Amino acid sequence: MHTVMLWLTHEGLWGIFFGVLGEAFLLPLPAETLATFGSIEASKGFYPLWLLLIVLFSATYIGSITAYWIGRGIGKVAMLRVYKKLRIKDEHIALAEKQLVKYSVPLLLAYRFLVGIRGLIPYVAGANRIPFAIFALTSAIGAALWVVVFAVFGRLLESLVSMLSEYQIHTLILIVFVALVSGYAGYRIGKRAGLSSSDHRP
């Protein structure tokens, strides 16, 4: 997996595209990590942020639509056999189906943020014949939200790293140490003061 990640990140936007797309086909690829990495690289000027957003959206949306039609084409019974061959846990499948039936529209909007079952949702939606128009619309909105969240997260992470690099590490460690010692001392003093006041009560 480490070798695959190195290859994907080395290939730039193409690697990010195929890595995010691959997760839709139930490959164990960390799409969020790739999205965050891409955002950091964009902040360094390796490629425009708008182009990264298009790549991320295209990959995750195309993947979800493809997975939906695979699930719809194969059918529910056949999909269960596929899940078993892929060694996907029964509880994950049951949870995905239960949540889809109970919260179809909200789940289709937010499933990309649900670790463990998100890869199954498009297949389950297709196998259970959720109307394509509803799936396509909600998946597009959800894809846009996912892309924006992790693109922003990457920019914030890069800003944090840049901020830390401007200060000496030993100074930051000293500040944290003093804050911890001060907090502990205040806690002990407050505790002793509470015990003393209780001892003087009649």
pLDDT at 101 (0 to 100): 66
Render pLDDT for 63-72 as a digit per residue (tens, 0 to 9): 999 999 988 8
pLDDT in tens, 4-58: 555 556 667 888 898 888 888 878 777 777 887 887 787 788 888 888 889 999 9
Does the structure show a pLDDT above 80 at 149? yes
Q: How far is CA 174 from the centre of its chain?
A: 33
Q: Which of the four pLDDT bands, split at 50, 70 and 90, describes residue 140?
A: very high
Check residue 75 and give its pLDDT: 75
Closest to 111 measured CA to CA, from 16, 120, 102: 120
Q: What residue spans define the domains of the chain? A: 2-166, 168-202
Residues 6+ apart with CB under 8 A from 55: 13, 16, 17, 38
Give, in order, the Cα–Cα distances in Å from 74 to each of 124, 140, 153: 11, 23, 37
pLDDT for the residue numbered 61: 93
At 76-122, the pLDDT tens digits run 777 777 667 767 777 777 777 676 666 677 878 888 887 767 778 88
pLDDT score, position 160: 53
Q: Is it the case that residue 1 has pLDDT exceeding 80? A: no
